[in-house]
């Protein structure tokens, strides 16, 4: 979506042709017999979802910019509506800066339970068209509508009907990209936000991709974008025309080949329903910067407990432990270590997390945020734990499962480790 479109608040509902983007109604059939005949993948993205939900239930927000996020002195923006975005507000921005940019905004704390309920209602709308729905988060999902044509019409018509139902039943707007691959469908929904619908037929995929910045492609972060810029590759079109061998040399075999494929619109990944989590994590932003290593280690222990509890609750284990450490200036580092055996035990996760903190070079450095994540997640029943010859079972897994049962019966905080309990007493 262009800056001009965002500023005027116009919605884009069109199809990419060899002559550019033309409106959906200008001789473009929406029954599946037109250029969308092989565009079976849809990507739906709710528009400023959290802010939109808050605006619906708050009459005072009708004509005011809305920001959702932490309201304390260290609060961070979770979501901002398009009125606030026009002032430069965006997610992950410190709330103090957001309010300097947009002083007229109304700020509301996140209401996760309400957002989940609305999200479930939207996903139910999608599943009424096809069972092949892959939620990516509360506010976006992929759909494969190849089996829905006979009943619901072509992909463009299905996308238009979904948008109408979301507006009518939930009072919210969404943007939908329609294409033959997940990559192009997602880029299409991004291009037509807010409140838009964009069809990218296979024949015009390259025309659509060529002018996009390389940073629009998944996997291209700031550092990769800088490396590509040094090679003179700033657009997807330039990347598509680059020598693959050059990309291999600069980015590595796997990353170089993958970016070359993506720049040409090649993405074989299917829509996968009920895709399992690839990682489970938790993080905490301190109310004031913390430079006491012991306090940081206690927080890493607490977060490890949350992660382990979630793993056990979903019947999963993971093999790689990583920590996120964010300094006061928002610069962030991550460190990780792969274990010899997968685990769902907080004691084991926290030992690694604290060792990673100790070896990070930031021990004693003021930190504003810490996080713990377990990656390489797989079902526990498919990953049996193997004990090394001579190794004794420490019993931590059994202890933590007992803690799970106590928590389930008496609520969070009913039982915790002695270290954390002592820390809480000192905080009183």
Q: Which of 148, 146, 121 is nearest to 135 (CA)?
A: 121
- 140, 299, 348, 400: the active-site residue: 140
Among this protein's residues, is 140 annotated catalytic? Answer: yes
Q: CA dist 261 to 128, 145, 237, 312, 418, Å?
A: 33, 24, 12, 38, 53
CA-to-CA distance for 260 and 418, rounded, in angstroms?
53
Asked whether 289 and 368 are in contact (CB, 8 A), the reply is yes
Please check if 139 is assigned to a binding site.
Answer: yes
The token pair at 413 is: 């905080």
Q: Which of 295, 327, 311, 417 is nearest to 373 (CA)?
A: 311
Asked whether 157 and 148 are in contact (CB, 8 A), the reply is no
Q: How far apart, in Å, do the first and last CA atoms of the chain sit?
A: 51
The token pair at 267 is: 């993405």
* CB-based burial label for 132 (10 Å; 0-12, 13-18, 19+): buried
Q: For the chain, percent helix, then strand, then coil, each to nearest 5?
A: 45, 20, 35
* CB-based burial label for 80 (10 Å; 0-12, 13-18, 19+): buried
Asked whether 67 and 105 are in contact (CB, 8 A), the reply is yes
CA-to-CA distance for 245 and 73, rounded, in angstroms?
50
Please check if 291 is assigned to a binding site.
Answer: no
- Residues with a catalytic annotation lie at 140
Binding residues: 45, 139
């Amino acid at each position: 979506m262009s800056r001009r479109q965002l500023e005027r608040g116009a919605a884009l509902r069109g199809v990419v042709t060899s002559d550019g983007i033309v409106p959906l109604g200008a001789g473009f059939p929406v029954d599946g017999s037109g250029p969308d005949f092989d565009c079976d993948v849809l990507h739906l993205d709710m528009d400023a979802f959290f802010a939109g939900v808050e605006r619906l239930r708050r009459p005072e927000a009708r004509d005011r910019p809305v920001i959702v996020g932490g309201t304390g002195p260290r609060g961070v923006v979770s979501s901002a509506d398009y009125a606030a975005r026009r002032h430069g507000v965006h997610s992950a921005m410190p709330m103090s800066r957001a309010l300097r940019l947009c002083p007229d905004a109304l700020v509301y704390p996140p209401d996760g339970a309400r957002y989940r309920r609305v999200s479930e209602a939207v996903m139910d709308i999608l599943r009424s068209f096809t069972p092949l729905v892959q939620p990516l988060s509360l506010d976006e999902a992929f759909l494969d509508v190849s089996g829905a044509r006979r009943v619901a019409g072509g992909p463009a018509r299905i996308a238009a009907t979904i948008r109408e139902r979301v507006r009518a039943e939930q009072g919210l707007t969404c943007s939908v990209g329609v294409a033959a691959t997940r990559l192009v469908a997602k880029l299409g929904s991004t291009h037509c936000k807010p409140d838009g619908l964009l069809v990218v037929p296979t024949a015009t995929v390259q025309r659509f991709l060529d002018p996009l910045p390389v940073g629009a492609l998944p996997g291209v972060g700031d550092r990769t974008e800088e490396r590509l810029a040094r090679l003179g590759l700033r657009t997807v079109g330039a990347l598509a025309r680059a020598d693959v061998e050059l990309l291999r040399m600069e980015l590595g075999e796997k990353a170089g080949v993958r970016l070359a494929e993506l720049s040409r619109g090649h993405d074989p990944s299917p829509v996968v329903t009920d895709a399992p989590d690839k990682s489970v994590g938790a993080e905490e932003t301190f109310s004031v910067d913390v430079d006491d290593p012991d306090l940081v280690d206690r927080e890493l222990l607490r977060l490890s407990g949350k992660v382990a509890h979630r793993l056990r609750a979903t019947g999963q284990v993971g093999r790689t432990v990583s920590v996120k450490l964010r300094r006061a200036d928002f610069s962030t580092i991550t460190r990780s270590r792969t274990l010899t055996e997968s685990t769902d035990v907080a004691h084991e996760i926290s030992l690694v997390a604290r060792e990673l903190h100790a070896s990070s070079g930031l021990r004693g450095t003021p930190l504003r945020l810490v996080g713990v994540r377990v990656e390489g997640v797989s079902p526990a029943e498919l990953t049996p734990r193997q004990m090394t010859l001579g190794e004794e079972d420490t019993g931590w897994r059994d202890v933590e499962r007992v803690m799970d049962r106590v928590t389930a019966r008496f609520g969070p905080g009913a039982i915790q480790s002695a270290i954390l309990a002592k820390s809480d007493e000192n905080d009183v």
